[in-house]
Amino acid sequence: MGNYDMTGWPQVAYTYDGTFDGFLTCVYESYVHHEWAAAFSAPGQAQLSLYPERPVDTHPDHARRVRLSLPRRLSPQGARLVTYGFLTALPDREQSLYDFLALGFERGPSVLHDLTDQRVFTLDRAVRYLTGEAHLFKGFVRFSDQSGVLTAEIEPKNRVLPLLRPHFCARYPSAAFVIYDRTHREALFYRPGQWAIVPLADFRVAGPDRSERDWRALWRRFYDTVAIEGRYNPRCRMTHMPKRYWGCMTEFQTDPPEESAALPSGAGGP
């Protein structure tokens, strides 16, 4: 992608499929047709716009051209910032990424160091929050055995599954597991040698069987045993283990009435 004078480009609102390749296709279309993307909307993100609306179909080759240009124009660190930025919960995420890219294509890799520019600072802060949240989940994910498949549920603010995948695939290389993201309704499926992150609208886990209930009881007993009564400090505990994570952590849950174990409803292998 070459240098362009974007002054006077007509403003348009792009609608796309919500994927990263779809967003990169929008960037490609913007530069090819000399249009300034003033708004984006994806399925479930419809918004009223005063700009002419143009639907953009995802084109893998066009997306690839933009993706390959990122490390050349912005540096590998800049490419990572854009890729991770798409996983964040940043409001108007696409617009923030597009504005950053326009600035980066104009100024080059030096743009990454200009945190005085709000466009750079906003994206950098969002990505730092994403990576920090993913780091916490590496220690806060709790698996349960469901008929030989390890299952876990999380409720992140950002789309952390792509960042968690390398860690847990390396940690359990010989196991089969599923991590379900309740917030974004997608799941990471893994079995030895294969993995996939797929949309999954419904995910229901059967109650734990007797063996799993015993393991959970041991975990809760360990958690209670290592606690030192004289040093009980709930504020400190919530600093190191924020309360919003507790709903998916075994040591803070009470087991439901015993049921026969079953695989998650609607879940399939990769």
At 127-144, the pLDDT tens digits run 999 999 999 999 989 898
Among 28, 20, 26, 21, CA closest to 38? 26
Q: Which H helix or E strand runs over 164? A: helix 161-171
CB of 250 closer than 8 Å to CB of 144 = yes
Residue 248 has a pLDDT of 62
pLDDT score of 239 = 55
Beginning with the edge strand found earlier in the chain, give each strand of the sheet holding 194-199 in spatial order.
144-146, 149-154, 177-181, 186-191, 194-199
8 A C-beta contact, residue 177 and residue 151:
yes
Residue 266: its pLDDT value, please?
A: 43
Question: Is residue 122 helix, strand or coil?
Answer: helix
Average pLDDT over every residue of 242-258: 59
Give Cα separations from 251 to 143, 180, 225, 263 (angstroms): 12, 19, 12, 22
> In the predicted model, is pLDDT for residue 88 greater than 70?
yes
The pLDDT assigned to 93 comes to 96
- Read off φ and ψ for residue 158, nearest 5 degrees: -105, 165
Residue 126 has a pLDDT of 98
Name which residue leads in pLDDT, 197 or 210: 197
**Per-residue model confidence as pLDDT tens digits over 74-86:** 999 999 999 999 9
pTM of the model: 0.79
Q: Is residue 84 a contact partner of residue 159, using CB atoms and an 8 Å limit?
A: no
Hey, which residues does 181 pair with through a beta bridge? Answer: 154, 186
Asked whether residue 267 carries a pLDDT value surpassing 50, the answer given is no
> What single letter denotes the amino acid at residue 258?
E
3-class SS of residue 144: strand
Determine what percent of the chain is predicted with pLDDT higher than 90: 64
The mean pLDDT value for 149-172 works out to: 96
Query: Are 70 and 27 in contact, with CB atoms under 8 Å apart?
Result: no
pLDDT tens, 41-50?
998 776 667 8
Q: Which band of pLDDT confidence, cut at 50, 70 and 90, is reported for residue 214? A: low
Mean per-residue pLDDT, 167-172: 96
Banded model confidence at residue 219, pLDDT cuts 50, 70, 90: low
- Counting DSSP H helices and E strands in the chain, the numbers are 8, 8
Among 67, 42, 66, 44, smallest CA distance to 55 is for 42
